[in-house]
Structure formats: C-alpha cells, structure tokens
A and B are shown apart, each in its own frame.
Chain A
Amino acid sequence: MELKTIELTKKFGRKTAVNHLNVTLTNGVYGLLGANGAGKTTFMRLLCNIQTPTSGKIVLNGKNIVGLGEKYRSLLGYLPQQFGYYPDFTALDFLLYVSALKGLSEKSAKKKSKELLEAVGLSAESGHKIKTFSGGMKQRLGIAQAMLNNPHILILDEPTAGLDPKERVRFRNLISVFAKNRIVILSTHIVSDVEFIAEEIIMMKSGQIVHFGKPQEITSEIDGQVWECTVLAAYAEEYAASFNTSNLRNTDRGETILRIISDRPPMENAVRVQPNLEDLYLFYFKGDTEE
C-alpha cells in the first residue's frame, strides 16, 4: 500500500498550513513531529479527506482518495486531536455506534469493541457514561474507536496526550503489535513516544517537511553537535538561556549539567555526547512555536 501526497497545499486565508507537501508513505509507523502550528493536524485532516486541499492531491496506490470514497474510508482509522462524543452514551455504546458507522456486523462489532476496551484498559468502565470519564480515559476511548475496523491506514493525532506513563507504555505496545503491514501515522510532542515505535520520523515546520528519516539515521545529522557541560547551579539558568539547551540536570554537588546543541564546544569543559531525537527536535525548532 502506498499513500502519496502530491504538491499538497492547504491555505487558511493568507496562512499556509500545509505547503506543497510531497511525501510517500508505505507500510510502517511514522512519527510526525513539529512545533505548535507546524501543520500536523491540518496534514492529517487532509489525509482523512475531512478538509479539502487548496491545491494538490492525495493518492492511494495511484488513485485519488476523493474518488475512492467509502473504499478509502473503510481502510481508515482516525483519532482526532480533539473530538466530541455523546455524553450520555457509555463507552461500549459509543464503540458500537462507531462500528455501525464503519460497517461492522453487529456480532463483530461487539467482539471488537470488547477487545479494544480491554486493550486500552477500559473494560472495567465499558458501561460507564462517557461524561464521567477523565481526559485520559476519553483519549483511550478515542484510540479504541480509531482501531475498530482494523484500519490499514491509522492516523493518530497526538494519541499520547493526556496519558499517564503506564498507559503510554500500554499504547506503545498496542501500536507496535498492530502496525505490521499497515501505515500508521502519529503526531506527538513527546519525542520519546515516537523514538521507540516509529520507524520513520517526519519533521514538519511551517507546513513543510524539513526532515524525513529513521530515528537512528536522523540524529546522525547532528552527530558531534551535542554537548554536556557542568556548571555551578547558580549560573545554570543564565547559561541555558544563551545556548540552545535541550536539558538541565542537577547533580547532588550543587552543580548542573547542561545539554547543549551547538556546532562548536560551548565551553571549555564541554563533553561530546550521543545525540537523541529530542536534541534533533530542538535543533530544528529551537523551542519556538509558529502561530
């Protein structure tokens, strides 16, 4: 299966949210990273055909997804960044409803819904009304509904937002098992979430892809540019502000270790370290947001 965008562009007035994007996605897990407003959500909505591109198109195995209609949507699973629900439906009701929308038979709807409630850790709450759910519980219900139809293309917009660490691990495992022979795209701000499960990382900035590659390879770009320096805790803040700092860590000796991204050693005692994705993210975005 090959999902391809061709010169995909979406403008809102003068703001270009997705800008002449060309990308080819084949089976695998893709981690979509980018600052707030980079265009991740817009890109995903375009992929789901719930927003119309200003120009360009999306093709699945060479066919425009708009023309594929039901056929395309039957392959699709989507977790919106924000979504609504029916407050008086129970979790199970909601999944059964979405199953009906997705064309599952009543029998397989029941089976699949129960399975997924189990998989996201909601089986004890399956009979509770959604309005009684916490944010993380709703989020997990959202993940479950996206997967009801065993989608070949699974698009998850910030699936781990609001999940506690235990649930996050559960989610990662769920996706890793599920992802075989499928296209899974997930956006996140938590770099460590994709570091482990994504096979490819897509970095977006101002509606364009600035980087595309495997997590191991992708960090090689900044090989030799990540440093750790130890400074007195009192000055740590000052140093951190003047460099592109990805992390601060206090030691028990009143010192602070700064992790700095810089092409030259930022100070004398700097030690070169292995770059990780978070460093790369900061390398591209320098902590700024685009609005």
Chain B
Amino acid sequence: MKKLIQYELRKIFSKRLTQAALIALLLLSVLLVFSTYQNMYASDGKGCEGTGRTAVEVDKAIAEKYEGLLTDEKVQQMMTEFKPKQDLHGMNAVYLYQNALQSALFRSFSDLNGDWNGLSVSDVFGNEKIKIGYTYGLLKTSQNMVRIFVVLSLVIAIMTAPVFSGEYGGVDNIILTSKYGKTKCWAAKVIGSILAALIVTAVVSAINLVCAFILYGSSGLDCSILFAPVDFATGYIPFNITCGTLLKYQILLAFTSTISITGVTLVLSAICKNQIAALVASAAIYFFPIMLPVTEASSLFKIITLLPLYHTQFVSLMSVGQISGNVLYALMAVPVALIFMGIGVFISRRVFANHQVS
C-alpha cells in the first residue's frame, strides 16, 4: 500500500501542468509578499518616513510605545501625537495616512479635522478588551493569502483532475485487471491526492507565514484585529479576535478549502473521460457561488459561505457569527470539508471500480 501511494504521489508531481502550476503559485506568493513589503509606507511625523523596511521599522517603533491594552489615556496621548500638522484642505482626517497606528486610531476616534471625536474606548468597542500593537504586516499578509489560497485551490484541482481520468487514456485496462486495481489502487489514489493537497497547502501556508514573521515579526499575534488601519474598516470581521486567531482560522480554512476541492475533483476525475474536462468542471463548481445573487442579509448566506470558495475568501465566512468567545461559526467549514471529501471517496470508488474501458 505504501508503495502504491508513493507511485500515486510520483504521478501527481511529475505532471508538467502540475509542476507549472506549482511554480506559478510560488512566484505569485513571492511577488505578493515582496510587493506588499515594498509598498508599505509610514511616517512618524518627526521627519522619519519611508517605505518598505523603513516603514515597518517606523510602524513598529510607534506601536511599541503604546503596546498593551487600549485605554482612554492612550487614545488621548496618540491623538496629541498624531494631530495633523498641516492644513487638510477639507479632506477627512481619517484618510490622512501617516502610519498604521494613526490610521487605526483616526478610524474610530477622530473627527474630520483630526481632533478627538469625543468617543471613549468603551463607546467604540463596548466591553471588549482591545490589545494594540503592530498588526499591520500580519493583516496585510492575511489579505495576500486570500488571493494565494484561491489560486492554491485551483492548483489543487489541477493536481487532482488527472488522478482517475488520466488513467482512462489506456492504462485503465492494465490497472483494473490487476489484483489491487479496483481496491488498493483506488485507495492509494485517494490517499495520494489528499496527501499531495495537504503537503502543498502546508508548504504554501508555511512560506507565507515564515516570510511574514521574518519581515514583520510576530509581536502582533496576540493583538486585536479590531484596532486596525483604515483598509480593514468596512466589512472586515467584526469580532474581537487576535491576529493569531485570525491567521489560525485562515490557515484552517485554506485546508478545508483544499480538502473540499480535492473531494469534488476526485468525483469529477472518476467520472470524466479526460482530465481537462474534469479540471474545467471542478473549477466551474468552485467558482459557481460567485454567481449566486445572495447578500449577507439573506438566510441562505450562512450556508453559501460554507462552500469552498468562501473558505478561502474567509472574511465573509468568519463574519457570520461567533459560537462563543474565540470559537467562530467558520469552524463549520471542517465538517463541510469532510462531507465533500466523503462524497469524493464514496463516489470515486464506485465509479472507478465499475469503469468500463473502451
């Protein structure tokens, strides 16, 4: 059995298309990581400003000063420090970006002119304890990973599509007449596909996280996502979870997405006569939820967000609700992924074992 699984992995990773897709995915990751890093901007208002590394250093230095629980005192101190020094010419001060902490502060506590709007911490955040620090780099990483994981899911479909259908070009004759062809070989194919999907997902997640920790540090992991710069304002997850929790969920959802898409693609691979058909069908199923005219207000939304595409677009799924404390409704993606995989396992077995060669 081990041997058969090894062969399946070898078949999966030796396909040209798979190799090309994996390289493309890697390049995309690297590109996003570095362009995000280069495009960071921050100014401390005292003459130290810049992009890339400088920006991260400035942001971190400022965050260090105010690190810890957000209090009304800190709000006042920050308001003084970040008070706009030049004329705004009628622009809303919230959109005046100096640095990450200032942006997060102005979003909730500033009026149009950059003066305190009179709100206290509890006015804005209720009873939540908001821990602040340097979270911007990690949040940006999370944002990048959305795109990367969408592409990842497609790469997984590319890898899985030929698992059965690739054999229908004529090796099926030989496989299905061999002792284990309809039994262990099928199992090896399923296990091999799952392993391949898990390995690739793990590697891609690891690359992105490691890059983030190297570039931005990990000090923001236990800080709240609610006190975040203005690009994470509207429509962002409304719960007081930490950056660490956010990343954990996002990685978990990347896995549930790849597991689901593996399940779906296995079925299609067993059914379709060739791998391109399986791939196209799988991609169509994956992207199909985009077409559904359902808004967040609809009751169906709770169900639709459980489809794999929304695992990677994790924001809407994670915004659906909190079961309790740090446990979100998004956890439902796990049973959903298992169901998709179960369907994949069950149907591919029946279809492959009963496949009629021609």
Contacts and interface: CB of A to CB of B under 8 A. Distances in A.
Contacts of A98: 174, 178
Interface of B: 3-4, 7, 11, 14, 167, 169-183, 185, 354-358
Contact of B178 (A51, A80, A102): A102
Given A48-B177, A51-B357, A85-B171, A97 B7 contact: yes
A101 interface: yes
A49 B177 CA distance: 7
A101 B181 contact: yes
Given A49-B177, A73-B177, A82-B173, 8 more contacts: A45-B357, A48-B177, A80-B170, A80-B173, A86-B171, A101-B179, A101-B180, A102-B180
A125 B104 CA distance: 68
Contacts of A74: 179
A97 B357 CA distance: 20
Highest count of chain B CB atoms <10 Å: which of A50, A69, A106, A149: A50
Interface in A84-108: 84-86, 88, 97-98, 100-103, 106
A100 B174 contact: no
19 contacts: A48-B176, A50-B173, A50-B356, A51-B357, A52-B354, A73-B181, A76-B178, A78-B174, A80-B170, A83-B171, A83-B173, A84-B172, A86-B11, A98-B178, A100-B4, A100-B180, A102-B179, A103-B179, A106-B3
A70 B179 CA distance: 5
For the residues of A in contact with B, the DSSP-based class is loop
Nearest to A45: B357
B357 A50 contact: yes
A73 B178 contact: yes
A76 B175 CA distance: 12
A78 B173 CA distance: 8
A97 B3 CA distance: 9
A51 B176 CA distance: 10
Interface in A37-77: 45, 48-52, 69-70, 73-74, 76-77
A145 B177 CA distance: 11
A51 B180 contact: no
B16 to A, nearest CB: 9
A70 to B, nearest CB: 5
A145 B181 CA distance: 14
B174 A145 contact: yes
A48 B182 CA distance: 12
Contacts of A82: 170, 173
Contacts of B179: 70, 73-74, 101-103, 149
B178 A101 contact: yes
Given A80-B173, A101-B175, A101-B185, A88 B4 contact: no
A84 B169 contact: yes
Nearest to A84: B170
Given A69-B182, A73-B181, A98-B174, A51 B356 contact: yes
A157 to B, nearest CB: 9
Interface in A13-56: 45, 48-52
Contacts of A70: 179-180, 182-183
Highest count of chain A CB atoms <10 Å: which of B4, B11, B177, B180: B177
B171 A103 contact: no
Given A52-B354, A103-B180, A88 B14 contact: yes
Contacts of B169: 84
B7 A100 contact: yes
Closest 4 CB pairs of A and B: A84-B170, A80-B173, A101-B178, A74-B179
Contacts of B175: 101
